[in-house]
Amino acid sequence: MRKLLMPFALIATMAYSGEQFAMSDADRAMYAEMLENNPADIYVESGGEIFEEKLGGEEALAKFLGVKVDELPKYIAGFPRYIKKLGNVVGIDQVLQAMQVEQGKKMTKLKSEDMFSMLAYVKSLANDEQFTIDINADEHIKASYDLGKKTFETPRGGRGLSCLSCHSKDIVGMVLRTQPLPDLGKSGSGATWPAYRMTKSSLRTLQRRFQGCMKNALLKVIPIGSKEMVGLEVYVSTLAQENKKAIAIPGLKR
Ligand code: HEC
């Protein structure tokens, strides 16, 4: 069994979940209501419009990726993946940027609402698909996965925490300041972000969500689109894949 690297002070603020809930009854009622009518749908829709207008939509994406339009869902379910002409393992957002460069257009920033919306739209094309990430497909994706796993497990920052300190099987179900610690595989995180985050009243992506945890836990915040971040996304997506979580965008989160 892996040894826990949890500082004592943090353990002392945790409790087993039992009767405790992360949400009040009122919050839960709101959650149920939003599930019927996810506020993120509007972002996905506008993301689709921007994608069509600025980049030429699915046709252009398929062409850029060298696949047929009807192969897009399964192909998109394999991101982040190694794209030979970019020489890197990249997320969908970085592919969209590369398309903009190729078309001589201004790049949309990775950390912007327009990009989050476009990313949500494009990933939603793979809704109901299982992830098709194959970490043995080539040395690049393998290296990205390894870097992501290492980034997940290595303690960093002032409190000596790693992602694994809070998201390991050993402590999942415990509660940290009223929030249950999620098992990122069982919660299908890789498959359910971009999501509407109720506490932020906005659409957030998986890498943006990682940054939230980094900030909260005083781990140095890693930039979106960096090798480490893409690796983290590969790693966390394979956890959803192992748990057979189908892609369901946009998610709805607390
Ligand atoms: C100090 C504990 C702690 C650390 C360290 C931590 N997290 Fe979290 N994380 C949480 C808690 C608590 C939640 C649930 C919060 C909520 O429901 O709003 C969470 C939620 C998440 C989610 C969203 C889960 C979902 O609903 O899909 C992701 C993804 C995530 N963390 C990734 C990470 C990554 C990556 C790292 C390392 C960079 C990390 N976390 C480090 C406590 C932590």
Please report, for the chain, the start and end positions of each structural domain, with discontinuous segments joined by +: 8-35+134-253, 41-124
174-176: strand order across its sheet: 14-16, 174-176, 179-180
pLDDT confidence of residue 82: 97
Which of 51-60, 171-180, 227-236 shows the lowest per-residue confidence on average (mean pLDDT)? 171-180
Give the residue, by CA position, lying nearest to ligand 1 atom 1. 217
Confidence of residue 19 (pLDDT cuts 50, 70, 90): very low
Half-sphere exposure (Cβ direction) of 141: Cα atoms closer than 13 Å: 18
What is the residue with the minimal CA distance to atom 43 of ligand 1? Answer: 166
Number of other CB atoms surrounding residue 5 within 10 Å: 14
Distance 84 CA to ligand 1 centre (A): 32
pLDDT tens profile 156-186 = 887 889 999 999 877 666 666 667 788 899 9
Q: Compute the distance from residue 101 Cα to the ligand 1 centre, in Å.
A: 34
Has residue 61 got a pLDDT over 90?
A: yes
Sign of the alpha-carbon dihedral angle for 6, 12, 14, 18: positive
Question: Which of 127, 145, 129 is closest to 82 using CA atoms?
Answer: 145
Dump pLDDT digits (tens) for 117-151.
999 999 999 999 999 999 999 999 999 999 999 99
Cα–Cα distances in Å, from 32 out to 27, 110, 239? 9, 31, 26
CA–CA separation, 163 and 87 (whole Å):
28
Q: Do domains 8-35+134-253 and 41-124 have the same CATH topology?
A: yes
Domain 8-35+134-253 is of which CATH architecture? Orthogonal Bundle (1.10)
Residues contacting residue 199 through CB under 8 Å, at least 6 positions apart: 254
Residues with CB under 6 A from ligand 1: 22, 161, 163, 165-167, 176, 179, 181-182, 184, 187, 189, 192, 209-210, 213-214, 217, 219, 232, 253-254
Which CATH number is 41-124 given? 1.10.760.10
pLDDT at 120: 98
Whether the predicted pLDDT of 64 surpasses 90: yes
Percentage of the residues of the chain whose pLDDT score is greater than 70:
88
